[in-house]
């Protein structure tokens, strides 16, 4: 069993173990796994270690991800649901059945959720890969039963489409009720909260922002180079509709960059690998842009590269940004999620729009400014250490097992930018 990476502590060890709770973890991420899953996975693993009864409810894929297998091996019960109709990477007959179930409002009937409710959960922790996805509404049977029988549930929003998704009037009303009735309403970024409020026309005043758990990443051991090839890493699922690796490649394929000695290594896997291979070949960038797959030791990425690139169209707070900052690496990002809140221009480079034109200006500025990358990396590390805290995850776990009020976890969503701006220059004496 993988050890839980955070040192959760209760005021009394007997208090942690004295009451066994039945906790249902629900993931609404239709992909087999993603960065948003790490939070609930680690909470569930900790709860199992403390003797609580756990059920995990995830979408049915041909193969269970190793993280799911790990929880089942540790004693978690498994509840599998049919994939949603909007998830295209599924067999044709299964996709057709999903569309039929959507039209029949199957989610409002007990057939999908009967086994999960038979578990008789005392708390439901709902991890939304996307806050306003089409998976759970106030009319969903599991939510109706939770409200009717007063089963408390927490909701965490990890992502928000920034440019393409608008709910119908009825869906907005349903989502308002679903989120308002949650005993704990959390977002991993201020911008996700803000955009959710705008789309729902609801201030959601009780919402809190919580920081994601991240891996222990050591500070890089060498100074960022100012000469030789520019070494950049793009670490994300290969899914161009969201992560926009193709936008970065198309930008760097322009004439302005032909004489610049750089490498861009793309780490990760996903459905668009073949498309990206073809795009790299089309631009003749095989020697400069490389598909690296998953790295077995992610911390090593920051020993071998000097700049993180993340040109996403939508985000929450990307784990890879926090990990790079922890290692002392600056980043070049777009204004997606809270990327620009963590990476201001004194800690990296922010493209003002998600376009080739804006990214061209941003990349050229970064390359001209290479001599300052090490100082920016030092500021990244210092800012991370001043702002990020694992206390959010400790408090979240205690709220799930019923030890603290869910409304006391994290920070009020509306206050996060002010809190972070007050820490915006913690390292000037260190550079």
Pair (323, 268) in one structural domain: yes
> What pLDDT sits at residue 370?
95
Nearest CA to 141 out of 81, 188, 187, 89 is that of 81
Q: Print the domain residue range for 335.
A: 230-386
Pair (46, 163) in one structural domain: yes
For the ranges 16-25, 56-65, 401-410, the maximum mean pLDDT occurs at 56-65
Angle between helices 373-387 and 319-327 (to 10 degrees): 110
pLDDT band at 120 (very low <50, low <70, confident <90, very high): very high
DSSP code at position 239: -
Is it the case that residue 36 has pLDDT exceeding 60? Answer: yes
Is it the case that residue 3 has pLDDT exceeding 90? Answer: no
Domain presence at residue 373: yes
Pair (370, 307) in one structural domain: yes
Q: Are strands 289-293 and 307-310 parallel, antiparallel or unpaired?
A: unpaired
Q: What percent of the chain has pLDDT over 70?
A: 93
> What pLDDT sits at residue 398?
94
Q: How far apart are CA 271 and CA 291, in angstroms?
A: 13
**pTM across the whole model:** 0.88
Pair (81, 187) in one structural domain: yes
Both structure tokens of 63: 């193969």
Handedness of CA 173, 176, 180, 181 (dihedral sign): positive
Domain presence at residue 8: no
Domain presence at residue 225: no
> What pLDDT sits at residue 424?
60
Mean pLDDT of 212-232: 82
Residues 165-221: tens digit of each pLDDT: 678 899 999 999 999 999 999 999 999 999 999 999 999 999 999 998 888 777 777
Pair (132, 203) in one structural domain: yes
Nearest CA to 305 out of 421, 413, 224, 187 is that of 224
Domain presence at residue 222: no
Instruction: List the single range of 11-25, 44-58, 160-174 with lowest mean pLDDT.
Output: 11-25
Number of structural domains found in the chain: 2
Domain presence at residue 13: no
Pair (63, 168) in one structural domain: yes
> What pLDDT sits at residue 7?
43
Mean pLDDT of 84-97: 86
Pair (376, 394) in one structural domain: no
> What pLDDT sits at residue 164?
62
Q: How far apart are CA 220 and CA 373, in angstroms?
A: 13
CB 12 within 8 A of CB 403: no
Query: Could you give the residue ranges of the DSSP H alpha helices within 369-431?
Result: 373-387, 391-400, 416-421
CATH number at residue 38: 3.40.50.2000
Give the three-class secondary structure for 310: strand
Residues 321-341: tens digit of each pLDDT: 999 999 999 999 999 999 999
Nearest CA to 47 out of 28, 23, 31 is that of 23
Pair (342, 240) in one structural domain: yes
> What pLDDT sits at residue 429?
35
Burial of 429 (0-12, 13-18, 19+ CB in 10 A): exposed
CB 225 within 8 A of CB 263: no
Pair (130, 199) in one structural domain: yes
Tokens 């649901």 belong to 81
Pair (241, 348) in one structural domain: yes
Domain presence at residue 252: yes
Cross-sheet strand order for the sheet of 307-310: 289-293, 262-267, 230-235, 307-310, 331-334, 348-351
pLDDT band at 13 (very low <50, low <70, confident <90, very high): very low
Pair (297, 280) in one structural domain: yes
Q: How far apart are CA 331 and CA 424, in angstroms?
A: 16
> What pLDDT sits at residue 91?
87
Domain presence at residue 427: no
pLDDT band at 129 (very low <50, low <70, confident <90, very high): confident
pLDDT band at 320 (very low <50, low <70, confident <90, very high): very high
Is it the case that residue 1 has pLDDT exceeding 70? Answer: no
Domain presence at residue 84: yes
Pair (261, 192) in one structural domain: no
């Amino acid at each position: 069993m993988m050890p839980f990476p955070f040192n959760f502590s209760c005021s009394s060890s007997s208090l942690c173990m004295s009451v066994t709770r039945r906790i249902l973890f629900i993931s609404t991420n239709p992909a087999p796994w993603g960065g948003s899953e790490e939070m609930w996975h680690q909470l569930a693993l900790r709860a199992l270690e403390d003797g609580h009864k756990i059920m995990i409810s995830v979408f049915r894929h041909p193969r269970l991800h190793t993280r799911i297998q790990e929880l089942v091996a540790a004693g978690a019960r498994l509840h599998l649901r049919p994939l949603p109709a909007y998830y295209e990477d599924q067999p044709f007959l299964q996709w057709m059945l999903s569309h039929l179930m959507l039209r029949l409002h199957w989610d409002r009937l007990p057939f999908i959720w009967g086994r999960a409710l038979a578990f008789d959960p005392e708390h439901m922790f709902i991890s939304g890969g996307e806050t306003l996805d089409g998976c759970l509404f106030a009319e969903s049977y599991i939510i109706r039963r939770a409200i009717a029988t007063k089963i408390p549930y927490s909701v965490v929003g990890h992502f928000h489409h920034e440019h393409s998704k608008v709910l119908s009037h009825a869906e907005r009303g349903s989502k308002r009720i679903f989120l308002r009735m949650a005993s704990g309403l959390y977002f991993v970024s201020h911008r996700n909260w803000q955009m959710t409020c705008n789309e729902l026309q609801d201030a959601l005043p009780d919402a809190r922002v919580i920081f994601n758990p991240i891996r222990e990443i050591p500070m890089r051991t060498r100074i960022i180079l100012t000469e030789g090839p520019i070494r950049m890493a793009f670490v994300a699922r290969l899914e161009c509709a969201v992560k926009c690796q193709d936008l970065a490649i198309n930008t760097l394929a322009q004439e302005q960059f032909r004489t610049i000695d750089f490498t861009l290594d793309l780490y990760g896997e996903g459905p668009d690998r073949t498309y990206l291979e073809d795009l790299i070949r089309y631009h003749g960038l095989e020697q400069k842009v490389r598909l690296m797959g998953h790295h077995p030791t992610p911390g090593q990425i920051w020993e071998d590269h000097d700049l993180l690139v993340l040109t996403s169209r939508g985000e929450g707070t990307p784990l890879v940004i926090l990990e790079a900052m922890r290692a002392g690496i600056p980043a070049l990002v777009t204004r997606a999620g809270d990327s620009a809140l963590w990476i201001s221009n004194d800690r990296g480079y922010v493209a003002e729009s998600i376009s080739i034109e804006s990214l061209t200006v941003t990349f050229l500025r970064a390359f001209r400014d290479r001599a300052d990358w090490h100082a920016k990396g030092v500021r990244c590390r210092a800012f991370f250490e001043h702002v990020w805290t694992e206390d959010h995850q400790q408090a979240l776990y205690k709220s799930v097992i019923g030890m603290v009020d869910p409304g006391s976890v994290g920070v009020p969503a509306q206050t996060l930018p002010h809190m972070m701006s007050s820490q915006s220059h913690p390292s000037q004496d260190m550079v």
